[in-house]
Amino acid sequence: MLGLYVHVPFCSAICNYCNFNRGLFDAALKLRYVDAIVREIRTHGERRIPISPPIPNPQSPFPGPADTIYFGGGTPSLLDPDEIARIIGACEQTFEVARDREVTLEANPESIDATRLAAYREAGVNRLSIGVQSFRDDELRRLSRLHDVDRAVAAFHAARAAGFDNVSLDLMMWLPQQSVSEWLESIDAAIALAPDHLSLYLLEVYPNAPLKDDMARARWSQAPDDDAAAMYLEAMERLEHAGLLQYEISNVARAGRRSRHNLKYWTDGGWLGFGCGAHSTRDGVRWKNISSTMDYIETVSRGASPAVDVRCLTSDERLGDALFTGLRLVDGIDGNAIQTRYGIDVWQRFGRDLERFCDAGLLRRDGARLWLTRRGMLLAHEVMAVFV
């Protein structure tokens, strides 16, 4: 089934490290944006893949069944619950949305409280992903986040009190001035809250990020690479011990709480993205929406498609993507499934290049299955490069 992604590009302030497609919150613009999103979703029901002539696809009914809706951003929790309900309603009217759907809302701690959370649940959200980033106030300040640790903890408890039984936390590691033990404080604090899911991201300092200047000015630095590796390996051990099992390079979950939406990206699934800058991939066709919020609203409002960069993937690109993303999973690549879908024996085609990674203990092979060891995950891109 399809995953539906809705991009919300508004934030209350812009964090110094952020490289996402976002801008400052503007209440009037938000109203127009929600109208445009609803219109884009509705018109998708009338439109085939936005390519001319449309690709004949007898296996894929349009608009088709979907079982996940994911509000990502930006800060989706800046949309009011009735706006979230309207967008979910548009999805239901356009797609056959499964009854046991997963509906995720990304939320920042400072933008949610008990009343708002109860209203989101009422609107149909059943999974929350809270952008905590760190359980140390000094680290949050260095990242110019608007919340502090108390607020993050209060947001988590409010989510539980509102009845959310599927809550994920985002944490970032390898922060400026962060030592291994300080990072592990955040991991232990997260474990103490007993979330259902955790995503661990490595901070990437982009060349034009204001954080880069902040770091130079304050003489902050990131720990050496070996420490970053230790942060990752030790965190995964502690989380595993606490019943949060790794299922993807950056993600751990309790049993039954893996992100069904994100799994579509890693298991060669199909998804449609709505909103500015959103990406879609379906049946071998990939496209991206216009990035600018204003241009997106203007285009959708006059009834035109916001899709740009529409591309039919070659069979080699599809295979490469399936292998590249599949290797992110702890379960790895199922060679039999690849053989059935693409008619390729993975080991016969890539074995010569992969052998050295097996010898180095980064990759394992058992029959048709291939997976990265945890140490291999630290060097995943080198292994994945074989496929693309």
Binding site for ligand SF4 (CB under 6 A): 11, 14-15, 18, 20, 22, 73-75, 108
CB atoms within 10 A of CB 242: 17
Burial 62-87 (b: 16+ CB within 10 A, else e): ebbebbbbbbbbbbbbbbbbebbbbb
Question: Of 15 and 155, which CB lies nearer to ligand SF4 in the complex structure?
Answer: 15
Q: How far is the CB of 14 from ligand SF4 (least distance, A)?
A: 5
Nearest to ligand SF4 of 20, 347 (CB atom): 20
To ligand SF4, the closest distance from the beta carbon of 57 in angstroms equals 34
Between 23 and 320, name the residue whose CB sits nearer to ligand SF4. Answer: 23
Angle at 109 between CA 108 and CA 115, to 5 degrees: 105
- Crossing angle of the two packed helices 27-44 and 293-301, in degrees rounded to 10: 50
State the minimum distance, in angstroms, from the CB of residue 10 to ligand SF4: 8
* Least distance between ligand SF4 and beta carbon 146 (Å): 8
Question: In this complex, which beta carbon is closest to ligand SF4, that of residue 109 or of residue 335?
Answer: 109
| Shortest Cβ 376–ligand SF4 spacing (Å) | 29
In angstroms, rounded to a whole number, what is the distance separating the alpha carbons of residues 353 and 320?
14
Note whether 55 and 283 are within 8 A (CB).
yes
Reported as type and span, the H/E element at residue 338 is: helix 335-342
How far is CA 180 from each of CA 48, 214, 227, 229, 286, rounded to the nearest angstrom? 50, 21, 6, 10, 40
What's the min distance (Å) between Cβ of 351 and ligand SF4?
Answer: 41
- Cα separation of 35 and 120, whole Å? 19
Return the number of the residue (17 or 357) whose C-beta is nearest ligand SF4. Answer: 17
Backbone angles phi and psi of 347, in degrees to 5: -70, -40
Nearer to ligand SF4, 15 or 189 (CB): 15
Contact 190, 136 (CB under 8 A): no
